[in-house]
Every structure is written in structure tokens, then in C-alpha cells.
A and B are shown apart, each in its own frame.
Chain A
């Protein structure tokens, strides 16, 4: 049996190399994300940093850990998906060989054992290589994270002894799991299939597959329907999951959806088009395997980034409509805490709301259920805040030792008590006496009345002051006076400019996070696509030879293969876009119900990059594999019937 495995490996090395590669890259990516996650989850603030700096470090760490956790989850998800489908595909490509073994006396269990044995070998090989490669990937990932400011410069992952066995174990288990179902299916192959001139198009859509696909699709629809009810935060989480479920559903249903759609994409009339269309009809599994990673990639990428962009847009629109100010002063809090008074006292200023955003440790619940998390709080002058944000409702009760639920409150509402600690100042449990409406873009969890925190604690923090001008005052003059009163580094902007600038900033930080989370995953998914192409072409030598023997030139054969692949890629991209459309629809509904106007915005450069990238990669793979598969003269292949 082992000899047979070995002989099989030697002969079908391209498909097996592809399988090893997917395990290798998947393991490398997962291992790298895991090590970075561990490193940043256990990192300590630089020695000698002050209490507020420490909380800020803590806060940055939470963001880094979140991004890394999402990357890890995505990497793991893609690894499971790509490894399982690649291994299943390599098995499905060998039905005839396996039928032949059955014909000369192999039992079903022997077939399963043979395939699992191979998967074990490939899984171990791939995982070992992946673990080694992971030490390189971790550098790339660290560099990316540092570059976009999610990790401090000099951050790095430490190697843990248990990582290697864990990675080998998981990589191998994934390979085995991927093969298992396919092996069981393959073991049921009828011995007579060894005699079929053509590989029998196996029944791809089993009842289990239909059920899974339909359930996932139904899940996406249900989430889409529920998303308006989830509130700003819950709605967003649901919207993001819609494309995840929809992409999976479409990937599972790819054997039905892809050939139909791809067939419609091939131009009619030409002989190459006809050939490509016929192949699409016959080679359902090949088309599905190529398109599935694309569906998942595009669904996730477009869905996630579309949601991020649209929510940023919605948040800015909401901020614009709920802010009543003419100018915004950005400055630094001073030691005496008198900045707010100085700005209010500038001639021509009607009202000025100075707001300082600080990270704080908030404790909700008590006793057993107490939970402490790092959130942002906003120190405000309640009266001025009401005037600058007219939709906030009354903050009259916000006086003395009390807090109000802020625009980003998640877990507290009027009547609760929340423990507040900023740096080393512990304010103890404070009653929540008021609440402002929640904002689409989130924001501080609590509003603290000015005076609750000592001025020296706020010193050095950024202060944002929304200024309303008195009627008839000169905007330029007031702005100049405010700049002078704001102290060193003060910057006065028109409120519209400030809104545009903060929107851009929010957008670019979303992009950075997305690049880190999606970039590596996307490359991995593309490799899955390349792989499916390589594996598929390994089995196409005879088919190509037949086509050439029937009068096609080598160039035409390659052209037809590329045409077919592009049609499949196009179908994959469209289906991925369909999955993403689910999320975008949910975003539209959710933002409309939260802000009154629906917002949608897409990162078009990213979309363009994915589309051209997908076509370039699949086209090049297809051309290259078809070209090398047609290197031998057709007669030679047709004569040696193997």
C-alpha cells in the first residue's frame, strides 16, 4: 500500500505539490498570526510610561489583538476551506485509477486507507514546511502591522516550543479531514468506471451538499432580514456576517452555479468558445474548484471593505447632521485646566464645547459578573455639549459624581452603575444618569462631566472644541483669536473641513486594518485558485491531445483553456460580488434605520485590483499549464492509453 502511495506521489507530483503548498502556506499564515497574537497579547507597556500612557498602550494593544485575532480566524477559515477543497479535488481527479484498483481486488476500506495515507504524508510534509515558512511570514506580517501603526516599532513574536507539534498536528488533521469525505465517496466508485473512455462526471451535488448550501444561504437571508433590528453595533456585525455565509453558500453550490454562469459568459459563435462551453458543462468539478476560492475571497473582501467604507461614510454623515458648530479648535489640555474658559471668553464666541477623549478602564456589573474593559470616555461640559450636539437630549442630570452613556455605549444605560478608572485615578462606581443616542460610528462609551477628573491627569491630552459663533462676528477674526487662545500647537478649522478630514482619517485606518487582515488571506486564496488550475490540468493531457488530433493548433488549445478559465473566474467574481451584495444590502438597511439616510461606498481601487489580479493569475496559470501539458506530440499521448 505504501509502495502504491509512493508510486502515486511520484506520478502525480504536480497535484500533490499543489496540495502540499496549500497546507504549507495555510500553516505558515496561521502560525504567524498565532505567534504575533500571543506576543501582542502578553506585551507590557514600555517601562517608565505614565498612567495614561499605560492605558493608551493597553488600548492600542486591544486593537492589535483584535486585528490579529481576526487575521488568525480568517487564515484558519481559509486554510480549512482551501486545504479541504484541494485535497478533495485531488481525490476526485483520480476516480479512474481508484476504479482500476477496485477492479483488481482492492476493497473499499483499502481505497480509503490509501487516500488517507497519502493525505497523512502530504499533511505532515506541508505542515513541516509551513512551520518553517511561518517564521518568514511572521516577519512580513510584523512589518505590515508596524507599518500601518497597529504594532509598536520593534515588536516581534517569540517562538514557543509547542507551536511546531501543534502546527503539524493541525495541518495534518486538516488534510485528513479534507480527504476523508472525498475518500469515502471515492471508495464507492464502481470498478467498471476504470473502463470508461472518459472520466465519468461524478455526481458532484450530493444531497448533503445541497442541504449545506441551502442552509448557509438561508442563514444569510435571515441575518440580512434581522440586521435592521440589531442597533448600530449589532446591525453592523450581522451585516458583515451576511457575506460570509452567502460566500460559503455559493462556494458549496458552485458546481451548480458556476458552470451555468460561466457558460453564459463565453462568447458564442467561435469554435474555441463552443469547446470551452462544452468543457464547462462536462467538467463541473474543475470549474467549481477554481471558482470556489474566488467566491469566498471576493465575498469577504468586498463585503468587509464595503461595510467598513459605508459605515465610515454613514458615521461622518451622521456626525455632520448632528453637530452644530462653525469652527473646531484642536489643541492640548494644559496644567490648569482653564483652556475651555479661555476659549469661551474669546470675543465673538457664542458657545464652546471642549471635549477630551481618554481611554479608561470601565467596570460593569458587580461581584461574579463584573467585567472590566478598556473603553474611551469623553470629558465634557454638559451644557456646552448639549448646544454643540443638539440631538443629544438633556444632560441636566449630569452633575457631580455621575456619568452619561455616550454615543458608543454598549453595555450601560441609564440607571446602571459603572466603575471608572483613568490611569491611577479610581472614581469608583458612578451612576449613569443620562444617555445620548448611539451613533453609527460608535464613539466614547461614557460622558464624564468636567471637574470629575483632576486637571493634571488630562494634561497633554488632545482637546477638541466645537465653537458656535455669535451672530455678526467675523469668522476669520474669531479664528485667529481662538488660535492664540488655544495655546501651543492649536489648530482652528472650519467644521466642514474638520469633518472631511476626520472622515479621511477614519477611512485610511480602516484601510490599513483591512490590508493587514485581508492582504495575506487574499494571496492565500489566490494560491488556492492557482492550485486548482494546476491540479486540473495535470489530468487534461489526453483531452488536449484529442483536441489537437481533431485539428486544433496548440495555440488554439491554450486559447480555449484560457477562455474557459476566464469564464470560470468571471463567474466566481460575480458570485463573490453577489455574496458581498448581501452585506451591502444589510448595510444599506442598517444605516438607513440608524441615521435616516442609506450610505453605501465601495473601495473601487481595491475592487479593480482584485478583478484584474484574479484574471491575470488564473489566465497565466491556465496558459502556462495548458502550454506545458501540450508539449508532447498528441499522437504519443493518444497511443499510450494509460
Chain B
């Protein structure tokens, strides 16, 4: 099998000829089309592209949330393409974290309980101090006992980041994490992602906002399910220009 011939990789995330199609027949949509991508450990990569270009699908495939139709997905050198549910569950507990546009906190739990949830699901009882520290790191030390509905959008997203980071995952996947936030709340979230990347974690972030992409180390431009371009270390204006050049 040719896929077995893959060289071991040190990249945090590697996609090899990954394709994903939704539906079948005339309504089939090829959301990801033969994508090859390597994201180096300890870097922050932004994914940009027109709406419906397959950014979220790409992210979900890379994170093991969506099965690919063909190609291979490697996380930190481990091939997760055909991993069973138990392996993927363990992966979610230890090696990857997620942040989404819609915060996705458990409404019935307090901020602190939400943050410690992944560890408790993994059978660990985190010291209270650790949870406090995680909340303090995102600037919410005072809000530990608030429930999500008592927090603003930006605060909820920071709780979600604290929850995603408490397991110290190798890769943090973020799908439009600032999409529902105003610019100052967005800046706070981006600062936290920057800190995570600087601390050696890898971040993959889908975004619409060139300014957000400019905070990343590199930006991947996607159209019609394909990676069209890759920009490294560009500012917001450059990213916006490249995006416009792509016809978005």
C-alpha cells in the first residue's frame, strides 16, 4: 500500500491527498479536494477562503472529527485516518483541543466546572488551584462560579479556550473563534492563541478576518476545497490582497 510508504513526519498535523465529499450523485459536494498540507509544531496557521470553500471541513478532517474519503491524516506523527472511536476519544482528551465560533459550553455547569470537564472525563480530578490558574490565565479568575449565560460572548469564548488548553494539547483547532465577538473581545482571544503558539503548541485557526490571520505565523488560502496559496508572516493588508487576488 502506497500510504504505508509515508515517511514519519515531525509536523503537528499532516494531510496527505485528503478528500472529503458530502452527499452523492448530482447533489454531491466535494468539500475537500486532494489536499496536502503540513503544519509545523509550535506554529499558528490561519485558514482563509470564501464561505463554503471547505475550511471547516478541512479543519474537522485534520482534527479527527470527520472521516476522510481518501488520503491520510497524521497528528503528531500518528496516523488517525482509520482510528476507532476509542482512540479518537483518547486523542480528544489528551492531544487536541477545540474552540468554535459558538463557544459550546455546557450551560448547566459553571465556568470552573466547564474548564475542568475534559480532565474529569479523562478520570482525573484536577486540583482546584489548576482550574483557578487556567481561568486566571484567560483573565476570568473572578468568574469561576458564573454560569455561561451570566458571561459575555468574549468571556464565554475565553472559558472555552481555558477548557481547550487545560489538557495541554499539542494542537488547538479553532473554527472562527472570533466570528461572534466584537474587536476588543476578539483581540483578547487572539492574544491567548498567540501565547499558546509561543508556548510550543500548534494552532490551526479558520477565520474570515485578515487582521486575525495576520496574527498567525502563516495563512493557508482555500478555494473549492483546494489549497490555493500559502502566505508566511504577512500583515493584514497583504493577506486581504492575496485573498482578493484569489477572487474571494
| Alpha-carbon separation in the docked complex, A3 to B66 (Å) | 30
Known: A3-B113, A192-B60, A642-B148. A106 touches B104 (CB 8 A): no
Within 8 A of B (CB), among A525-553: none
Shortest Cβ gap from A112 to chain B (Å): 13
- Chain B residues in 8 Å Cβ range of A642: 105, 107, 148-149
Within 8 A of A (CB), among B92-113: 92-93, 98, 100, 102-109, 113
Contact string, B172-195, partner A, CB cutoff 8 A, digits 1/0?
000100001000000000000000
Known: A192-B60, A192-B66, A640-B149. A105 touches B103 (CB 8 A): no
A1, A107, A195: the one contacting B104 at CB < 8 Å is A195
* Least CB separation from B96: chain A residue: A105
**Is the CB–CB distance between A108 and B85 below 8 Å?**
yes
Within 8 A of B (CB), among A66-115: 97, 100-108, 110
Asked whether any CB of chain A lies closer than 8 Å to the CB of B49, the reply is no
- Chain B residues in 8 Å Cβ range of A107: 85-86, 89, 121
**How many residue pairs, one in A and one in B, have C-beta atoms under 8 Å apart?**
71
| Alpha-carbon separation in the docked complex, A3 to B120 (Å) | 10
* Least CB separation from A190: chain B residue: B65
Known: A103-B98, A105-B118, A192-B60. A10 touches B89 (CB 8 A): no
**Is the CB–CB distance between B108 and A8 below 8 Å?**
yes
Bin chain A's interface residue count.
20 to 34
- Chain A residues in 8 Å Cβ range of B103: 641
- Chain A residues in 8 Å Cβ range of B85: 107-108
B104, B109, B180: the one contacting A194 at CB < 8 Å is B104
Shortest Cβ gap from A372 to chain B (Å): 62
Known: A104-B117, A642-B148. A97 touches B106 (CB 8 A): yes
Within 8 A of A (CB), among B66-103: 66, 85-86, 89, 92-93, 98, 100, 102-103
B86, B102, B106: the one contacting A101 at CB < 8 Å is B106
Within 8 A of A (CB), among B120-160: 120-122, 148-149
Asked whether any CB of chain A lies closer than 8 Å to the CB of B226, the reply is no
| Alpha-carbon separation in the docked complex, A621 to B104 (Å) | 31
- Chain A residues in 8 Å Cβ range of B66: 192
Asked whether any CB of chain B lies closer than 8 Å to the CB of A444, the reply is no
Asked whether any CB of chain B lies closer than 8 Å to the CB of A370, the reply is no
Asked whether any CB of chain A lies closer than 8 Å to the CB of B223, the reply is no
Known: A107-B89, A640-B148. A100 touches B104 (CB 8 A): yes
Asked whether any CB of chain B lies closer than 8 Å to the CB of A11, the reply is yes
Within 8 A of B (CB), among A171-191: 190-191
Shortest Cβ gap from B12 to chain A (Å): 19
Known: A192-B60, A195-B100. A106 touches B121 (CB 8 A): yes
Shortest Cβ gap from B67 to chain A (Å): 10
- Chain A residues in 8 Å Cβ range of B180: 641
**Is the CB–CB distance between B92 and A10 below 8 Å?**
no
Known: A194-B104, A640-B148, A642-B107. A104 touches B113 (CB 8 A): no
**Is the CB–CB distance between A105 and B93 below 8 Å?**
yes
**Is the CB–CB distance between B122 and A191 below 8 Å?**
no
- Chain B residues in 8 Å Cβ range of A10: 108
Q: Which of A10, A197, A641 has the most CB of B within 10 A?
A: A641
- Chain B residues in 8 Å Cβ range of A616: none
- Chain B residues in 8 Å Cβ range of A194: 104
Known: A104-B121, A106-B121, A640-B148. A7 touches B89 (CB 8 A): no
Shortest Cβ gap from B58 to chain A (Å): 13
Within 8 A of A (CB), among B193-229: none
Asked whether any CB of chain A lies closer than 8 Å to the CB of B163, the reply is yes
| Alpha-carbon separation in the docked complex, A195 to B98 (Å) | 11
Shortest Cβ gap from B183 to chain A (Å): 18
**Is the CB–CB distance between A105 and B121 below 8 Å?**
yes
Contact string, A1-41, partner B, CB cutoff 8 A, digits 1/0?
10110011011100000000000000000000000000000
Bin chain B's interface residue count.
20 to 34
**Is the CB–CB distance between B102 and A641 below 8 Å?**
yes
- Chain A residues in 8 Å Cβ range of B120: 1, 3
| Alpha-carbon separation in the docked complex, A640 to B109 (Å) | 15
- Chain A residues in 8 Å Cβ range of B121: 101, 104-107, 110
- Chain B residues in 8 Å Cβ range of A195: 100, 102, 104, 175
| Alpha-carbon separation in the docked complex, A151 to B180 (Å) | 69
| Alpha-carbon separation in the docked complex, A195 to B117 (Å) | 18
* Least CB separation from B67: chain A residue: A190
B65, B107, B118: the one contacting A11 at CB < 8 Å is B107
Known: A100-B104, A106-B121. A191 touches B149 (CB 8 A): no
- Chain A residues in 8 Å Cβ range of B98: 103-104
- Chain A residues in 8 Å Cβ range of B60: 192
A104, A108, A640: the one contacting B163 at CB < 8 Å is A104
- Chain B residues in 8 Å Cβ range of A12: 108
Shortest Cβ gap from B10 to chain A (Å): 25
* Least CB separation from B150: chain A residue: A640
| Alpha-carbon separation in the docked complex, A100 to B102 (Å) | 12
Shortest Cβ gap from B132 to chain A (Å): 17
Contact string, B36-55, partner A, CB cutoff 8 A, digits 1/0?
00000000000000000000
Q: Which of A101, A106, A190 has the most CB of B within 10 A?
A: A106
- Chain B residues in 8 Å Cβ range of A101: 106, 117, 121
- Chain B residues in 8 Å Cβ range of A3: 113, 120
B89, B105, B109: the one contacting A106 at CB < 8 Å is B89
Contact string, A466-492, partner B, CB cutoff 8 A, digits 1/0?
000000000000000000000000000
Q: Which of B118, B121, B163 has the most CB of A within 10 A?
A: B121
* Least CB separation from A637: chain B residue: B149
Interface residues of B (CB under 8 A from A): 60, 65-66, 85-86, 89, 92-93, 98, 100, 102-109, 113, 117-118, 120-122, 148-149, 163, 167, 175, 180
Selected A-B contacts with CB under 8 Å, 21 pairs: A3-B113, A4-B117, A7-B108, A11-B107, A12-B108, A97-B106, A100-B106, A101-B117, A103-B65, A103-B104, A105-B167, A106-B89, A107-B85, A108-B85, A190-B65, A192-B66, A194-B104, A195-B100, A640-B148, A642-B105, A642-B148
Interface residues of A (CB under 8 A from B): 1, 3-4, 7-8, 10-12, 97, 100-108, 110, 190-192, 194-195, 197, 640-642
Apart from A102-B92, A103-B65, 15 more pairs, CB < 8 Å = A1-B120, A3-B113, A7-B113, A11-B107, A101-B106, A102-B89, A103-B104, A104-B163, A105-B92, A105-B117, A107-B121, A192-B60, A195-B104, A642-B148, A642-B149
